[in-house]
Copies of this chain bind each other. A is one copy, B any other.
Amino acid sequence: MLINCVAYENGAKLADIPVEDISEYISRAGCFVWVALSDATPEELAEMQKEFDLHPLAVEDAQHGHQRPKVEEYGDSLFVVMHLIEPSTDDEGAHSVNVGEVNVFVGKNYVLSVRNRSQQGFLGVRERCEREPDLLRNGAGFVLYALMDAVVDRYFPVIDALEVELESIEQQIFAQGGAARDKIKQLYDLKRRSLTLKRAVAPLVEAAGKLHGGRVPQICVGTQEYFRDVGDHLVRINGSIDAVRDTIATAVQVNLSMVTIEESEVTKRLAAWASIFAVCTAFAGIWGMNFEHMPELKFRYGYAMALGLIVSTCGYLYYRFRRVGWL
């Protein structure tokens, strides 16, 4: 679906143009065209390929989808794939993340973005660019930066949410008596989501590194500091993800420790009560024997003494177990 197709000159919007005029505009010097598609059909992509003379392998990737994030040079043009991470909550309150994709084809005087399986548009990016003609004058390279920056900025709330969730689980881990099962499940879910985010960010860190420092593609010359900034954000997010993952790993282990500790405490309590009652039952059993000559059975206060002995023995045991912390 075509979102929009606009020609720019000297950083200012020239006009919304029909798709078939694209090749005409991009042949003018100092002019560039910025097209946005969403969930493009093969036909739309084929048309774009013709207008912009895109490389067949890049178009194939865009059409096939499910690429890993990357930056590829095809001659003078760039093909950039980024993941769009959107947290979602299902009806039962379970958190998950939806992974969309944006493919950006950038040439000397055109930018084509194709967004797939994602709710979030890039209209805001276009508006912001149009408000800053000084920067937009940098051409297609700057538009690529603006798109990357927008995508990367949307990762921040996702990782922040993971961190908040992790902290809330942590607090529960050390709170006694919670449902260990649920905590494990939550940690596992968190791990999975952090992995999804990791797979969006880590390859992009490396790919973005090609756009600044050392030899950079012609398109990025002059805007390298902007790309370094994006790269820096990515490294930061990547670091946060790694920290979250590291902490999750420890939390899983700690949770297991807590379960084992709790089990150990239950075992001790079980052992303590079992001992107390076993003593009681053993005494009662002895005086329940049917020997004829058991003098204490005849005593006036035999029963009271027996009860006293049983109660005091059990009481003493209780006191002892209490002191060593088993009860």
Contact = CB atoms under 8 A, between A and B. Distances in A.
Contact of A68 (B236, B271, B279): B236
Number of copies of this protein chain within its complex: 5
A73 to B, nearest CB: 9
Q: How large is the interface on A (under 10, 10 to 19, 20 to 34, 35 or more residues)?
A: 35 or more
A18 interface: no
B282 A239 contact: no
A77 B239 CA distance: 26
Interface stretch (A8-16, A32-40, A97-105, A260-268): A260-268
Interface stretch (A107-115, A136-144, A291-299): A291-299
Contacts of A324: 177
A257 B239 CA distance: 28
B257 A255 contact: yes
A216 interface: no
B294 A290 contact: yes
A235 interface: yes
B289 A284 contact: yes
A140 B327 CA distance: 67
Interface stretch (A19-27, A42-50, A85-93, A180-188): A180-188
A228, A268, A275, A303, most chain B CB atoms within 10 A: A303
Contacts of A176: 181
Contact of A67 (B70, B236, B303): B236
Contacts of A261: 180-181, 184, 259
Given A256-B257, A257-B252, A185 B181 contact: no
A181 B310 CA distance: 35
Contact of A274 (B184, B274, B285, B306): B274
Interface of A: 55, 57, 61, 67-68, 70, 72, 74, 170, 174, 176-177, 180-181, 184-185, 187-188, 191-192, 195, 199, 203, 225-226, 228-229, 232, 235-236, 239, 243, 246-247, 249-264, 266-271, 273-275, 277-282, 284-294, 296-303, 306-307, 310, 324-325
